[in-house]
């Protein structure tokens, strides 16, 4: 496969992630999942760009580490929200019932 095919997959993934994030209005879990799609698609773009230059760098591992940290923080916020309000609906955040 060429680098342009990997880049195309990454661009399509970023677009799908943005559309899913924009359409999630009620559930925080759905928003977190779409942000993970977005993060993995950007990782594919970074990896294909670094691979095209000829060396797989530490940049890919650092970016993947930041993606894992983002997922862990999002899961912690989700668990905290569910424990305090009883659901993962964003409407509970807006009304301040937590």
- Chain segment 56-81, per-residue pLDDT in tens: 778 888 888 998 998 899 899 888 88
| 27, two tokens | 């559930």
More confident residue, 75 or 97: 75
Helix then strand then coil, % of the chain, to nearest 5: 80, 0, 15
* 86 phi and psi angles, rounded to 5 deg: 95, -5
pLDDT in tens, 12-68: 888 888 888 888 778 888 888 888 888 888 888 888 888 777 777 788 888 889 989
Which own/partner pairs from 69-72 qualify as long-range (CB within 8 Å, at least 24 positions apart)? 70/35, 70/39, 71/32, 71/36, 71/39
Q: Read off the pTM.
A: 0.75
Q: At what angle do helices 28-53 and 3-23 cross, to 10 degrees?
A: 160
Q: Would you identify the CATH topology of the domain 3-95?
A: Helix Hairpins (1.10.287)
Q: CB of 81 within 8 A of CB of 28? A: yes
């Amino acid at each position: 496969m060429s680098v342009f095919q990997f880049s195309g997959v990454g661009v399509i993934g970023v677009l799908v992630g943005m559309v899913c994030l924009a359409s999630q209005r009620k559930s925080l879990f759905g928003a977190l999942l779409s942000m993970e799609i977005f993060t993995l698609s950007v990782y594919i773009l970074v990896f294909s760009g670094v691979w095209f230059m000829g060396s797989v760098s530490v940049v890919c591992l650092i970016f993947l580490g930041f993606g894992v940290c983002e997922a862990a923080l999002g899961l912690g916020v989700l668990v905290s929200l569910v424990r305090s309000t009883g659901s993962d609906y964003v409407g509970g955040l807006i009304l301040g019932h937590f």
